[in-house]
């Protein structure tokens, strides 16, 4: 085979994945030949997975009792997202090995409430599946804002569930009245997005959870991309801020783990239990993951990245990319592009199709929103120099 060269990241503005942190890469390489899907054979990686789940739970507020009511006025995006759940700087990776006994074999009685998935798509599919299993209704439906990731289309298709996609408000967030109108007694799940794929928007999560629970449905938050950024904002997005039931948070996106390392968390063990199937010829008794054999590289690299970066490293990276995105938005506006307010580090601009193609021809990896706007995701590999070079090319071709 001709020796193929992997992707360089210097012109990648389209991806929600990034270069793994060096510690994550090293761990991935070390655990390349392990399978957390077979925990009785591969005991060490099973232990690491339990640690990752514990740490993801901590990031997502699972060690704090839920609030009984949503924070006052949290649906107003301008001034009311007052819940400060920034991490305590003194927190570090604990040794709490949830659900793994001394042999590294999961004890069915103390299963961690989540697992490391192949990515956000698997996590979202499994959240829908768990809700469908736990709500025994004849014709289940799932209500999502139209900003939800296309993995929910996959989930609905797979699971024979009706997908009710509700138009978003003028600022691309879930419209609460629209969602409330779409929900009925056959609704098994209401989805909120915390860091949407196109605009980086955070939906009013506490209100969505309240709407879901009023109808006896579950509430899931997709923080696949936003989950490692939001702890450093004052958004209300996680288990501690709202009565949500499950959450997607992907180490292989802003968590800087190697692919594949997604994350799915449930508040209650019943969420995972609903996914379990029996596993003859594995010495563990059941398996809740969608896939069978799974990547130990992803799990180990997630553990290493979180150990290395939580919380200060992630905070620094959030602050850097947040500043950079704001700067890029200003630069584009100064060139008369229409650029919506930046909430999390994604910048959207109305770049004309010819300009877009000319930039792609120069090697820039750009992508478009469903409505054709150019979209730039300011990930850890994106630098100010890179963006200056991008702007110079933009000035050149437009």
Range in contact with a second copy (rule: CB under 8 A) among 120-128, 183-191, 226-234, 330-338: 120-128
How many beta carbons lie within 10 A of that of residue 93, not counting itself? Answer: 16
- Residues forming a β-bridge with 277: 287
d(CA 249, CA 16): 13
Closer residue to a second copy, CB minimum distance, 83 or 373: 373
Residue of the chain from 188, 236, 303, 329 that contacts a second copy (CB under 8 A) = 303
- Of the pair 203, 250, the CB lying nearest a second copy is at 250
Q: Which one of the spans 32-40, 65-73, 166-174, 265-273 is the region binding a second copy (CB under 8 A)?
A: 32-40
The verdict on 394 binding a second copy (CB under 8 A) reads no
Closest of 253, 257, 254 to residue 25, by C-alpha: 257
Does 300 interact with a second copy (rule: CB under 8 A)? yes
Q: Are 37 and 287 in contact (CB under 8 A)?
A: yes
Q: How distant, in Å, are the alpha carbons of 93, 129, 140, 306 from that of 80?
A: 31, 33, 34, 30
CB burial class (10 A; 0-12, 13-18, 19+) of residue 332? Answer: buried
Least spacing, CB of residue 66 vs a second copy, in Å:
29
Q: How far is the CB of 52 from a second copy (least distance, A)?
A: 11
Q: Which of 86, 292, 353, 354 binds a second copy (CB under 8 A)?
A: 292
Instruction: Considering the complex, state which of residue 157 and residue 330 has its C-beta at the smaller distance from a second copy.
Output: 157
Do the beta carbons of residue 186 and residue 140 sit within 8 Å? yes
Tell me: does residue 10 bind a second copy (CB under 8 A): no
CB of 315 to a second copy, least distance (A): 19
Closer of 183 and 303 to a second copy (Cβ): 303
Q: Which is nearer to a second copy, 178 or 262 (CB)?
A: 262
Site residues (CB under 8 A) for a second copy, limited to 214-243: none
DSSP H helix total and E strand total for the chain = 11, 12
Task: Tell me the three state secondary structure of residue 36.
Answer: coil
Q: Is 119 in the site for a second copy (CB under 8 A)?
A: yes
Query: CB of 192: closest distance to a second copy in angstroms?
Result: 19
Strand 262-266 to 277-278 pairing: unpaired
Cβ–Cβ < 8 Å for 52, 228:
no
For residues 309 to 348, the per-residue mask of contacts with a second copy, x marking binding by CB under 8 A and - elsewhere, is ----------------------------------------
Q: Which stretch binds a second copy (CB under 8 A): 64-72, 186-194, 254-262, 336-344?
A: 254-262
Stretch that binds a second copy, among 81-89, 166-174, 271-279, 320-328 (CB under 8 A): 271-279
Residue 103 beta carbon to a second copy: minimum distance, rounded to whole angstroms: 9
Do the beta carbons of residue 324 and residue 345 sit within 8 Å?
yes
Strand order in the sheet with 374-377: 346-349, 374-377, 367-368
Which residues 77-96 are close enough to bind a second copy by CB under 8 A?
93
Out of 84, 160, 336, 395, name the contact with a second copy by CB under 8 A: 160
Q: Which of 91, 185, 291, 341 binds a second copy (CB under 8 A)?
A: 291
- Nearer residue to a second copy within complex by CB, 73 or 354: 354
**Which of 192, 197, 229 is CA-nearest to residue 207?**
192
Half-sphere exposure of 138 (CA within 13 A, CB side): 0
Q: Which of 101, 234, 270, 283 binds a second copy (CB under 8 A)?
A: 283
Give the H or E element holding residue 211.
helix 205-214
Q: Are 301 and 20 within 8 A, CB to CB?
A: yes
- Compute the C-alpha angle 189/192/196, nearest 5°: 140
Decide: is 32 part of the binding site for a second copy (CB under 8 A). Answer: yes
Asked if 136 touches a second copy (CB under 8 A), the answer is no
State yes or no: residue 273 binds a second copy (CB under 8 A): no
Neighbours of 287 (CB within 10 A): 20
Q: Of 34 and 187, which has the nearer Cβ to a second copy? A: 34
CB atoms within 10 A of CB 211: 24
Contact by Cβ (8 Å): 338, 315: no
131 is a site residue for a second copy (CB under 8 A): no
- In the complex, the smallest distance separating the C-beta of residue 388 from a second copy, rounded to whole angstroms, is 21
Query: Is 280 a binder of a second copy (CB under 8 A)?
Result: yes
Alpha-carbon gap, residue 311 to 330, rounded angstroms: 29
């Amino acid at each position: 085979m001709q020796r193929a060269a992997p992707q360089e990241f210097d012109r990648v503005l389209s991806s929600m994945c990034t270069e793994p942190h060096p510690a994550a890469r090293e761990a991935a390489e070390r655990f390349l030949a392990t399978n957390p899907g077979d925990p009785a054979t591969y005991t060490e990686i099973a232990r690491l997975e339990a640690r990752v789940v514990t740490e993801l739970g901590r990031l997502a507020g699972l060690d704090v009792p839920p609030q009984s009511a949503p924070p006052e006025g949290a649906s107003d995006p301008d001034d009311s997202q007052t819940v400060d759940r920034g991490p305590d700087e003194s927190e570090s990776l604990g040794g709490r090995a949830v659900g793994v006994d001394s042999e590294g074999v999961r004890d069915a009685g103390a299963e961690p409430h989540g697992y490391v998935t192949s990515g956000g798509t698997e996590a979202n599919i499994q959240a829908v599946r768990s809700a469908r299993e736990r709500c025994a209704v004849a014709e289940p439906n799932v209500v999502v804002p139209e900003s939800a990731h296309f993995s929910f289309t996959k989930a609905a298709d797979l699971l024979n569930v009706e997908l009710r996609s509700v138009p978003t408000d003028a600022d691309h967030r879930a419209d609460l009245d629209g969602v409330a109108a779409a929900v009925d007694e056959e609704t098994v799940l209401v989805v909120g997005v915390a860091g949407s794929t196109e605009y980086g928007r955070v939906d009013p999560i506490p209100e969505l959870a309240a709407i879901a629970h009023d109808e006896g449905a579950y509430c899931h938050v997709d923080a696949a991309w936003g989950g490692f950024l939001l702890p450093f904002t004052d958004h209300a997005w996680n288990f501690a801020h709202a009565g949500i039931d499950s959450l997607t948070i992907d180490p292989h996106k802003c968590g800087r783990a190697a692919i594949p390392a997604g994350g799915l968390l449930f508040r209650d063990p019943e969420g995972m239990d609903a996914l379990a199937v029996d596993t003859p010829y594995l010495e563990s008794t059941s398996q809740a993951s969608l896939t069978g054999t799974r990547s130990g590289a992803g799990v180990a690299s997630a553990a290493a990245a979180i150990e290395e970066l939580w919380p200060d490293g992630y905070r620094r990276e959030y602050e850097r990319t947040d500043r950079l995105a704001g700067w890029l938005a200003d630069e584009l506006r100064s060139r008369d592009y229409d650029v919506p307010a930046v909430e999390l580090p994604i910048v959207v601009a109305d770049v004309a199709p010819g300009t877009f193609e000319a930039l792609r021809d120069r090697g820039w990896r750009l992508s478009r929103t469903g409505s054709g706007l150019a979209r730039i995701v300011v990930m850890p590999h994106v630098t100010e120099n890179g963006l200056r070079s991008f702007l110079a090319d933009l000035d050149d071709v437009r």
